[in-house]
Amino acid sequence: MKKINKIIIIFLCASGLLLSNACTKKYETLNTDPRLVTADLVNVGYLLTNVEANGIVSAGSYGNGTYGAYCGMDVRSDDNPFTNAASPGEWDFQYTNQLNNLSNIIQLIEAKTNKADFVNHEAIARILKAWDVSLLTDTYGDVPYSESSLPIDKVILSPKYDTQQSIYIDLFKELKEAAAQLDDSKDSYGAADLVYNGDTGKWRKLANSLRLRLALRVSYVDPALATAQMSDLSEADLLTTLDDDAFVKNNTDFPDHLNPRYYRIINYGTVQESVQAHKVLIDILRNDGIHEDPRIGIFADTVTATFKGGTSLNGYPFPNIDYRGQPTLGNVTEEFKYPWGFNTVSQLSDLWRAPVVAPAIMKCSEVYFALAEARLRGLLPSTGFNSDPNFYYQKGIDAGIEWAKWFYSLVAPQIPDLMKNYLHYEGHYGVIGAQWTDADVQNYLSYKEIKDAKITAFKATPIYTLTGSNDAKLEMIMNQKLIALYPDEFQGWCEYRRTGYPAQGLSPDVNSELKGKVPRREKYPVSEQTTNSTNYNDALTRIGVDSRLSKFWWDANPASPHVTSYVYPTQPTAYQ
């Protein structure tokens, strides 16, 4: 009884205290739910970190052979690249994570009472959103844009599909306005920004460089638009040094932040992969067969077949080379498979299995090759840029080599543990051969290191200077750009669709749904046919058939793809 009475007394006292303060000057404070999160309370830096970690680290391109098989970077031997199935991955990822979060950042800042202090936060979110939207539309074509990722009170459940042309025009506007919006004198994200640590000058360069990338993308369908977007740029506005590169290093703090290749090794024992270096990539890097590109060891390992340089046990002549790439075969019959046995083609370099690598949004080497092409095709303004496309071509190669040297310096300290405890540790699952020693590791690193003498010899070959017709020069530019983009397979696929280079042979996979032809886009998710059927069908009236072979707006180059005269070797029996 005493306990109950005590509770009643406490309750009455508390009630009296509340009533005595009910009508005060603090009425609004007392009647506001303290759990309510307003725009002024939200730290948008947390959202940005999440977007960058998910979009660049987790969803970054590490070279898995999916789109690499189409552009000649790398290829999966266990894949069937010529199916016509829908691919909802990019669609779901962008709409459920990236675009919603980036739109939320912009909406939250617009609702802040001191939004003028957050101009840099908003501008950076706009730049990243433009990048993400470009990935989405370059995958599918027409997509929901103006009616997607809206505030909760304005949500449209069945958004229209904007045309790719209108999307691109708005992306140009967004990138240009965001670059102008950046204010070097005001606060930025700081450490919450994993790419540039809030450096507004570098974000401005990235916005302009993305605009250059997208301008080239529309250059075959609307050269006037491409020229207009380049007209107000100068070299100083763009990414021009390795220090400008936009990337995020992996982190060892959490499994999902690791390089996925390393994660698979330590968690699943997956030492061997089904991803091989592509024939196109290796052929470009082999150069004249004597003066190899000094980066070849960074991208690939030598073949492991014991008959290297000789003849196979069943008589198949094997080229006398250390590096050999595999073409995109698809789901072919045995006589086409056997000449490309697993140990007879180069795997991706073990350097790419290190726990920390550096997936990127964009690198300065890409910018230089973009400028070389733009100058070659007469798209650049007369002032603000060098007049010789070869100047930028060589700058691109130089930047690509410097990046490869930087990448080596990043991963080399990680290699001893990787080799001795996983890849060449006789107690680890899937490892064949003796335990590696410190001497073995150092021999490997010495072999992989890019030596100045090899750089000099490589630059003395004809590959370092643009020659021939404009089309021949364009092919040289695009071949080198493929190497510079590595391992960003998606951008490689975009460039291949846009220009038709690097040239490849037609796949012998003639019985597949796509008949061995490289896809031009991905099909819309099947769910769109039921949940947004009216707008889905409206989009089809513009693109025709929802097929991976249907071309969308900017894919308008009549010369794409360029096909080589390469004939796939056949061999009726397997290696013994």
Asked if the model's pLDDT at residue 9 lies above 50, the reply is no
Q: What pTM, to 2 d.p., does this model score?
A: 0.92
Q: What is the CA radius of gyration of the chain?
A: 27
Bridge-based pairing state of the strands 360-362 and 246-247: antiparallel
Question: Coil, strand, or helix at residue 343?
Answer: helix
Q: Which two tokens stand for residue 191?
A: 């450490």
Q: Return the closest-CA partner of residue 271 out of 421, 151, 129, 382.
A: 421
| Most confident residue range from 23-37, 386-400, 502-516 | 386-400
Asked if the model's pLDDT at residue 566 lies above 70, the reply is yes
Q: List, in order of start, the domains of the chain with CATH numbers.
A: 86-233+523-554 (1.25.40.390)
% of the chain at pLDDT higher than 70: 89
Bridge-based pairing state of the strands 74-76 and 275-277: antiparallel
> 293-322: per-residue pLDDT in tens?
999 999 999 988 776 566 665 555 666 668
% of the chain at pLDDT higher than 90: 79
pLDDT of residue 21: 41
Q: Which residue has the higher pLDDT, 500 or 31?
A: 500
Non-local (6+) Cβ contacts of 46 within 8 A are 192
pLDDT of residue 400: 98
Q: Over the range 52-88, which residues count as b (16 or more CB within 10 Å of their CB) and which as e?
A: bbbbbbebbbbbbbbbbbbbbbbbbbebebbeeebbb
> 405-426: per-residue pLDDT in tens?
999 999 999 999 999 999 888 7
Contact between residue 520 and residue 549 where contact means Cβ atoms under 8 Å apart = yes
Which pLDDT band, with edges at 50, 70 and 90, does 574 fall under?
A: low
State the sign of the Cα–Cα–Cα–Cα dihedral 66, 240, 355, 250: negative
Residue 287, sorted as left (phi over 0), alpha (psi -120 to 50) or beta, turns out to be left
Q: Over the range 237-273, which residues count as b (16 or more CB within 10 Å of their CB) and which as e?
A: bbbbeeebbbbbebeeeeeebbbbbbbebeeeeebeb
pLDDT of residue 29: 47
Residue 555, sorted as left (phi over 0), alpha (psi -120 to 50) or beta, turns out to be beta
pLDDT of residue 318: 64
Q: What's the rounded Cα separation, in Å, for the pair 475 and 473?
A: 5
Q: Which two tokens stand for residue 558?
A: 């009549």
Residue 43, sorted as left (phi over 0), alpha (psi -120 to 50) or beta, turns out to be beta
Looking at residue 313, the DSSP 8-state letter turns out to be: T
> 441-488: per-residue pLDDT in tens?
999 999 999 999 999 999 999 999 999 999 999 999 999 999 999 999
Looking at residue 504, the DSSP 8-state letter turns out to be: B
pLDDT of residue 571: 82
Question: Coil, strand, or helix at residue 242?
Answer: helix
Asked if the model's pLDDT at residue 264 lies above 80, the reply is yes
Question: Coil, strand, or helix at residue 227?
Answer: helix
Contact between residue 568 and residue 505 where contact means Cβ atoms under 8 Å apart = yes
Asked if the model's pLDDT at residue 96 lies above 80, the reply is yes
Classify residue 397 as exposed, middle or buried by CB count within 10 Å of its CB (0-12, 13-18, 19+). buried
CA 496 to chain centre: 14
Q: What's the rounded Cα separation, in Å, for the pair 524 and 85?
A: 10
pLDDT of residue 236: 97
Task: Measure the CA angle with vertex 343, ends 338 and 347; round to 5°.
Answer: 115
> 130-180: per-residue pLDDT in tens?
999 999 999 999 999 999 999 999 999 999 999 999 999 999 999 999 999
Contact between residue 510 and residue 545 where contact means Cβ atoms under 8 Å apart = no
pLDDT of residue 570: 87
Q: What's the rounded Cα separation, in Å, for the pair 528 and 534?
A: 9
Asked if the model's pLDDT at residue 30 lies above 60, the reply is no
Contact between residue 326 and residue 300 where contact means Cβ atoms under 8 Å apart = no
Task: Measure the CA angle with vertex 288, ends 282 and 293; round to 5°.
Answer: 55
Which pLDDT band, with edges at 50, 70 and 90, does 380 fall under?
A: very high
Q: Return the closest-CA partner of residue 501 out of 522, 521, 482, 520.
A: 482
